A and B are shown apart, each in its own frame.
Chain A
Amino acid sequence: MKTEDWEEIFREKINDQDTPPPQTRWNKARSWEQLKAQIPTAKITQPEADRPLWLYYAAASVALLLLFTFAFTVYIRQQEQEISQLNAALLQAKTRNSAMLFAAKNDKANHTSTKSNSQSVPIDTQKPPLPLKQAKHHFLVKEYPTLLRKDFTQPIESTKEITIETNQSDRPIALPSIDTKQKNALPSNEVALKAFLTQAAGNSNRTETSVTLTFPGKEAVLEENTLAEETSKLRKKRLFRMLANGRNTDTTPEKPAEWIGVLPFMSAKTNK
Chain B
Amino acid sequence: MGDSRAQQLLYEQFANRMFRVCFRYLKEEWEAEEALIKGFLKVFQHLSQFEYRGEISLEAWIKRIMVNESLMFLRKKHPYHLITETQADSMESDLAPDSDLHAEEIYALILQLPTGYRTVFNLYVIEGYSHQEIASQLNISENTSKSQLSKAKAALRHLLTKHGITHEN
Contact = CB atoms under 8 A, between A and B. Distances in A.
Nearest to A32: B11
A38 interface: yes
A59 interface: no
B8 A10 contact: no
Interface stretch (B30-38, B66-74, B76-84, B138-146): B30-38
A44 B153 CA distance: 42
Interface size class of A (residues with CB under 8 A): 35 or more
B96 A1 contact: yes
A24 interface: yes
Interface residues of B, number: 47
Contacts, number: 112
B33 A14 contact: no
Contacts of B20: 14, 17, 20-21
Interface of B is mostly: helix
A7 B91 CA distance: 11
Contacts of B1: 39-40, 44
Nearest to A13: B103
Interface of B: 1-2, 4, 7-8, 11-12, 15-17, 19-20, 23-24, 29, 32-33, 36-37, 40-41, 44-46, 48-49, 90-92, 95-97, 99, 101-104, 106-108, 110-111, 125-126, 128, 153, 168
18 contacts: A1-B96, A6-B91, A6-B96, A7-B125, A10-B125, A14-B110, A20-B19, A21-B23, A23-B111, A26-B19, A26-B23, A31-B36, A31-B37, A32-B8, A32-B12, A35-B40, A39-B7, A42-B44
